[in-house]
Amino acid sequence: MAEYGNSYILITFVIFLGSAAIQLFYYLFFYSAVNSYKPGVKSAPVQPVSIIICARNEAENLKQFLPSVLEQDYPDFEVIVVNDCSEDSSYLILGNYLLEYPHLRVSTVNKDPKFTHNKKFAQFIGIKAAKNEVLLFTDADCHPESDKWLGNMAAHFNESTDFVLGYGGYKQAKGLLNKYIRYDCLSIAMQYLGMAIRGIPYMGVGRNLAYRRSMFFANNGYGAHNHLISGDDDLFVNTNATKKNTSIEFSEGTHTRSVPVQGLKEWVIQKKRHLTTAPYYRLHNKVLLFIEPASRVLFYSSLIVLMCLRFNWIWISAVFGVRIIAQYIIYFLSQKKLNEPGLLAYLLFFDIFSPLLNGILFLSNTGSKSGKNRWR
C-alpha cells in the first residue's frame, strides 16, 4: 500500500512539473513576444483606405465615437457606416455627420421580416461599397486612442501584406466584472498577437483589423462560415492569414477602446457567442489553444493534491514560484504595453477561474442553435 501511495505521489508530481513546463513555454515563447516585439521599418506607400463600421441601433455610440474615426490624421480615406436595420435615431445622427464630413458614406439596410441576417451580411455590404483596396474595420461602440490609428495600421500594407492585426481593448470602469473583461481581453491579445509574431496567426478582432478587399473576394468572402453568428473577424483570419501575409500593429495610439457590457448576463451571452467560432479553427490552432488552459487546470489541481499529501514543500514552492514569477512579470509588461492598468492584483484568481468558466460556457454552446443568424 505504501508503494502504491508513493507511486501516486510521484505521478502527481510529474504532472505538476510537466504542466508547469508547458505553462512556462507558452509564457516565455508566445506571450512574452508581445513585450519583446520590435516592428520593422514601415516602408509601405501612403494609399487610400476604407474604414468600415457596421451599426444596428447604435445612435448614442455613433454620436459619441464616430468623430474620432472621421477625424483621423490621414490624407486619403473614406468611412463607410452600414446602418443595418436600426430603429433608433441612427439615421438622423448619420445624416448630420454627412453634412459635416464629406468623406463619410452611409449604406442603409432596411428591415425585411422575410429576411433575417447576421453581421456578416452588413460587413459584406460595406466591403462591396468600399472604393479602396485597403479595408480597416472597427465597431460603432469603439474609438481609436489617437488620430494616428489609421496611419499606423495602413503603413503595414506593402506588396506582401494582406492582414494587419491590431489591439482592441475595453474601457476601464469600476467593478470586478470590468476587471475580468479587461483581463480576458488582455490574455486573448497576448495569445493571438504572440502567436502571430511567432508565425502562427490564428485570429484577429473586428474592433481593430485591416485586410485587402481583393483578398476578401479572391477567397470567397466568409465562405463556409457565412451562416455563423460570429467569425467575421477571427474565422476569416484563421482561414486566410499566414506567416508571410500577416503583420501586427499594437504601438501606443493604435489601440481601439470599446464600451464593455455592464451586466453579467450580457457578458455571458457575448462570451458564448465568441466561443461559437472555436470549433471551426484549423486543427493545429485548436490543439495549441486547448493545451494551455488544460495544462493550467492540471497545474493547479496537482498543486492542491500535493499540498494535501504534504509533499516536499520546498520543491512545490520552487516550481510554483518560478511559474508565478514568470507569469506576473510578463503580465506586468503586457498591461503596460497594451495600456491595461490595475489587473495584477486579481491575476491569480482570474488565472485559476478563467479556464473553468470558459469550459463551462463552451460546453453550454454544444448543440445550441438559438443564436443562428443573430446580428450580434
At 190, phi and psi to the nearest 5? -60, -35
* The residue count for the chain: 376
Position 224 confidence tier, pLDDT thresholds 50, 70, 90 = confident
Considering all CA atoms of the chain, what is the largest pairwise distance in Å, rounded to the nearest integer?
Answer: 84
Q: Which CATH class is domain 40-263?
A: alpha beta
pLDDT digits (tens, 9 = 90+) for 273-317: 888 888 999 999 999 999 999 999 999 999 999 999 888 889 999
d(CA 159, CA 245): 9
Position 337 confidence tier, pLDDT thresholds 50, 70, 90 = very high
* pLDDT confidence of residue 4: 47
- Closest residue by Cα to residue 60 from 95, 91, 89: 89
* pLDDT confidence of residue 45: 79
Domain ranges (residues) in the chain: 2-34+284-365, 40-263
Q: Is 154 exposed, middle or buried (0-12, 13-18, 19+ CB in 10 A)?
A: buried
d(CA 139, CA 122): 12
* pLDDT confidence of residue 195: 98
Instruction: Identify the residue with better confidence: 148 or 233.
Output: 148
Here the cell at position 270 is: 457575448
Here the cell at position 90 is: 441612427
* Strand pairing class (142-144; 77-84): unpaired
Given a cut of 90, is residue 109 above it in pLDDT?
no
Count CB neighbours of 366 within 10 A: 7
Position 374 confidence tier, pLDDT thresholds 50, 70, 90 = low
- Report CA-CA distances (Å) from 115 to 91, 273, 312, 374: 21, 21, 65, 12
